[in-house]
Structure formats: C-alpha cells, structure tokens
Chains A and B, each alone.
Chain A
Amino acid sequence: MTELACAWVRDRLPPRSRDGLDVADAARLEQHLAGCADCRAEATLVSALAVPVAVPPELEAHVLRAVRKQPAVANGAGGVRHYALAASFVFALLTGSLLWQQFGARPSPATIDGAVEAVLALPVGADALLHESGLQSLSEDELRTLLEELGS
C-alpha cells in the first residue's frame, strides 16, 4: 500500500466523514481497507472513538431551567432590543415633558399608557438607568401619576 493511499483513507475514517463519500470513493476506501491491515487497525480505533457519550438524563431539564431564567429567553431573544426601546420611550416621555411644560402641551393618555406598560414589562434590573432611577420599583398607579404630573 502506498503512503499516499493510506493517508487518503485515514483522513476519511471517521463515520461522519465516510457518510459524505460518493459511491466511487466509498468503494475505494473499502477496497483499501480490505488489503491494508494497518489502516484496518486505525479504522477499528476510530470506530471505537465514535461511540457516543451517554448524557445524564436529567441534564437537559437542568440546563433548560437555567436557560429559561436568562433575559433573552424570559423576554424573547430580542429582549435586549425591547428593553432599549422601552427605556428610550420612557425617557423620551420624561425629558419631553419639560418641552411640553414649556409649550403648554401634554402627552395623551394613550402615550402615558404605553409608557406605563413599557416600564412594567421590564424585568427588574433590565435597564440600569431605569433601575437606578427607581422607576421600576413604583407601582402601576404611582408610575402613572408620576408620568401624568411630569407631562402636565
């Protein structure tokens, strides 16, 4: 057997590599193995290494429980974007309230409802600025009152 043929065969011994071979290459590999004891020994070794590892049956449930606690899952993988949108919405309302005060306008009840919902939907600590400002510790009524006061 040539070294080149052996090298070609040994690179294709892992089962998943073999699965990807076309018919001609698969036949070439089998033919080589039939006549090369050294490559057969390596094929036996690689087959033994390919046996799957047993995963503890409880691991999946354990990991899924941990994963579900992550904000990306609890609030959807796009959760971070949602927090940012909600935070922007609320802060735009808060800072905008200064302008509204100046120009005599006030946010509509629907706008305030939206802001209240946005803050309440945020998990505690989801946005450091909101959390530090204490907005997230307010009840729905307290939050509504605050926003109405700021917008009036």
Chain B
Amino acid sequence: MREVPIDEATLIEKARAGDAGALEALVRRYMDDVYALALRILGDGDQAADATQNAMINAVNGLSRFRGDASFRTWILRIAANSAKSLGRRRTRRNEVALTLADNVAGEDADPATVATNRAEAERVTELLRQLPPKQRMAVHLRANQGLSYAEIGEILECSEGAARVNYHLGIRRLRELTI
C-alpha cells in the first residue's frame, strides 16, 4: 500500500505525544539538511556526522521546548549549527576531506558534457566556500543551498535579519571574486 505523506504539524504533534515512528520520520526528514549544514561549518565528514547525531539527540530530547514560534526546520537547523560549532571548538580537525556532492547535480537531464561541467563547477565553488568567514559561509549555504529567508537565517545564526542579508551578500561577492 502506498504511504500517505503526513504533514509536518501532524508529525510534530504525534512525536510530542510519544509516537516513536513520527519522531523518526522527523529525524529522517531533516537528516540531510542538518548534515549539510554541519559539514559546511566543520569541513570534516566524520565530525559532521557526529554533529548530526548530537543535533538529532538534542532535538529529540528538547522537542517539548519547541514552541512553534519559528518553523521546525529553522529550529532544528539552529540546534545543528550550535552542535557543529560546539564540536568544532572541542576538537581539532581530523581529516578534512573534499565535500562530496550528491549525484543529482542540477541539469542532470542535460547532455553528459553539461552535467560534467555543472558538477565540476559545483565542486569548485564548494571548495571556495571554505575560504569564507564562518557566518558568511553559513549564510550563503542556508540561502543558496537550503533556500531559507533572511529572517530564518537570522534565527539560526542568532543575528538580525539585516545582518543575515549582509553576510549572504558579502559571501556571494567574495565567492565571485574568487571564481574569476
């Protein structure tokens, strides 16, 4: 039987009521976003995996504190950012590895040469992203990759909406200088 998608509000309500399946569905839903942000912050696959696990555990245990003022996505990404920053402060870098991109590069339905070019460009930009200061890097990632609004980015980075916008644009400007 085909699984019927459950809306997020229902999932959260069920998870808070003790439905382990709903809780795990929420974890699954945000796993990729949390890992991607942690990886951008830490630049290390193993540490990002640890930060993802810490963030998910913190989110699960703190679910009763989620008031719904912000979206669940914003809430869990803020937990992820804090987990990653905290982990980064405690540990030195172990193995900085090239950030791996998913297979579904934009333009996948294009001809193989275009797909290869897109992938190469994506990998190059991803490497350059590491050269940005942390707040600019996170703002650029959250906006360009996760599609969040400046207000949401401000909530995650614990800064104003205006500061989030400035960090994004400074980051993009710097990346453009680096890519020339």
* A binding-site residues for B, Cβ under 8 Å: 10, 13-17, 19, 41-42, 44-56, 59-60, 62-64, 66-68, 70-73, 75-80, 82
CB <8 Å contact, B18 and A76: yes
Q: Is the interface of B mostly helix, strand, loop or mixed?
A: helix
CA gap between A99 and B149 in the complex, in Å: 61
Partner of B19, one of A10, A19, A77: A77
B103 within 8 A of partner (CB): yes
Which residues of chain B from 64 to 100 have any CB-CB distance to chain A below 8 Å in the complex?
A: 64, 99-100
- A40, chain B: closest CB distance, angstroms: 12
- Bound: A52/B116 CA distance, A: 15
**Quick check: is B160 within 8 A (CB to CB) of the other chain?**
no
| CB proximity of B46 to chain A, nearest CB, Å | 9
Q: Beyond the given A19-B147, A51-B102, A67-B56, please list 4 additional residue pairs across the A-B interface where CB-CB is below 8 A.
A: A44-B121, A72-B61, A76-B19, A79-B18
B16 at the interface (CB under 8 A from A): yes
Query: Interface code B32-70, partner A: CB below 8 Å = 1, 0 otherwise?
Result: 100110011000010001001100110011011000000
Contact in complex: B179, A53 (CB < 8 Å): no
Residues of B within 8 A of A15 (CB): 106, 147
A76 to B57, CA, bound (A): 14
Bound complex: CA of A50 vs CA of B146, how far in Å?
A: 7
* Known contacts A14-B144, A66-B57, A79-B18; A51/B64 CB under 8 A: no
Query: Does B64 contact A77, Cβ atoms closer than 8 Å?
Result: yes
User: Which residues from chain B contact A79 at a C-beta distance below 8 Å?
Assistant: 18
Please state if B24 and A52 are interface contacts (CB–CB under 8 Å).
no
Contact A45/B176 with A67-B24, A73-B23, A77-B16 known, Cβ cut-off 8 Å: yes
| Cβ 8 A contact of B63, one of A17, A62, A64, A77 | A77
- Determine if B138 is an interface residue (Cβ-Cβ < 8 Å): no
User: Contact at A59–B31, with CB atoms within 8 Å?
Assistant: yes
User: What would 6 A/B residue contacts be, using CB atoms closer than 8 Å?
Assistant: A14-B143, A15-B147, A49-B125, A49-B141, A62-B49, A63-B52
Interface hub of A16, A42, A50, A78 (most chain B Cβ within 10 A): A50
Q: Are B53 and A51 neighbours in the complex by a CB distance under 8 Å?
A: no
Knowing A55-B32, A63-B31, say if A76 contacts B53 (CB, 8 Å). Answer: no
- Residues facing A in B112-156 (CB within 8 A) are 118-119, 121-122, 124-126, 129, 140-141, 143-147
A42 to B172, alpha carbons, bound, how many Å?
Answer: 8
Task: Provide the residues of chain B in CB contact with A47, threshold 8 Å.
Answer: 106, 118
